[in-house]
Amino acid sequence: MLIVGELINASRKAIGEAISIQDAEAVKKVAIDQYEAGANFIDVNAGIFVGKESEYLQWLVTTVQEVVDAPCCLDSPDPAAIQAALSVHKGTAMINSISMEKARYDALIPVIAGTDLKVIALCMSDEGMPETAEQRLKIADRLINGLVQNNMKIDNIYVDPLVQPVATNKTFGIEFLKAVEAISTEFKGVHTMCGLSNISYGLPNRKFINQAFAVMAIAKGLDGLIINPLDKRIMANLITAEMLSGRDDYCSNYLRAYRSEKFEF
């Protein structure tokens, strides 16, 4: 399971403020906390700063990598911002994200083609947001083919089938889950991942919904998540769900988590 720590996101008030006053210490602390809690990648997002996104995203990468020895997940719809961030990034970054929207696709492909970067392939196209598993699969197929033709390794592709709020349509949970299963089965070696907060939008007790959804998705084959790794309950759920899905040899991750007191909350 690949875990991307989601907390350094400008749409969170504390982070937005830290970025705008260039408070490096505040950003560093959140980076260290997430890394120590088990994040493999640190997501960086400066998506509320129109016109300054490139500069700020670059600053975030530098700041984060001064204190943690982990790659970043560069979270931006803007290829220019991604390129700016890549120019200072150490190690192999993850790009969040490419999609089948033509403008976004055409602009990002030259940046990532032939590289060893990991890339999140978001199931969205110019025809709109997919609602059914079938629509998601069609977009995933085009994305995966496009990426492979541009010399991206299968193992570096993380398809995000696109989570939408179940509060707006009761089928949005199940269609996503079906898509995860279909993508995992039909495109061997390709990963699937997603963020969780969209699923619970517009409903109370969001954390509870997010956890249940994550567990269900893991059972279908999901092997990457963009989450808050400081939330011990979600982390415990992930570890347990992976074990129950047959992906934990000799239950060793589960036992390691137990012994390091990850299940105490």
Partner 1 sequence: MTNEEILNTIIEGVKEGDEDKVFEWTNKAIATGIEPLVVINDGLTKGIQAVGTLFGNGTYFLPDLLLGAKAMDAGIKVIEPLMVDQKRDYVGRVLMGTVEGDLHEIGKNIVIMMLKTAGFEVLDLGVDVPAKKFIEKAREFKPDIIGISALLTTTVGRQKEIIELLEEEGLKGKVKVMIGGAPINQNWANTIGADGYAEDASVAVDVAKRLLA
Is 202 one of the binding residues for partner 1 (CB under 8 A)?
yes
Nearer to partner 1, 45 or 192 (CB): 45
The token pair at 167 is 């509060």
Out of 13, 21, 204, 246, the only residue in the binding site for partner 1 (CB under 8 A) is 204
Q: Which among 102, 97, 68, 67 has a CA at the least distance from the CA of 82?
A: 97
Interface region with partner 1, contact rule CB under 8 A, candidates 35-43, 96-104, 215-223, 250-258: 96-104
Q: Which of 26, 37, 48, 109 binds partner 1 (CB under 8 A)?
A: 48
Residues in region 167-196 near partner 1 by CB under 8 A: 167-168
Q: How far is the CB of 78 from partner 1 (least distance, A)?
A: 5
Q: Is 129 in the site for partner 1 (CB under 8 A)?
A: yes
- Number of residues binding to partner 1, judged by CB under 8 A: 25
Residue 77 as a binder of partner 1 (CB under 8 A): the answer is: yes
- Answer yes or no whether residue 49 interacts with partner 1 by CB under 8 A: yes
Binding residue (CB under 8 A) for partner 1 from 6, 43, 53, 223: 53
Binding region for partner 1 (CB under 8 A) out of 71-79, 145-153, 174-182, 207-215: 71-79
**21 counts as binding partner 1 under rule CB under 8 A:** no
- State the burial class of residue 151 (Cβ atoms within 10 Å of its Cβ: 0-12, 13-18, 19+): exposed
In the stretch 1-20, what mask flags binding to partner 1 with x, by CB under 8 A? ----------x---------
Residue choice 2, 32, 37, 47 for contact with partner 1 (CB under 8 A): 47
Q: Which of 54, 116, 158, 99 is nearest to 108 (CA)?
A: 99
Question: In terms of Cα–Cα distance, which of 225, 233, 180 is closest to 208?
Answer: 233
From 84-92, 98-106, 136-144, 220-228, give the range in contact with partner 1 by CB under 8 A: 98-106
Of 85 and 238, the one with the shorter C-beta distance to partner 1 is 85
Contact footprint for partner 1 (CB under 8 A): 11, 47-50, 53, 76-78, 81, 101, 103-104, 124, 126, 128-129, 164-165, 167-168, 201-204
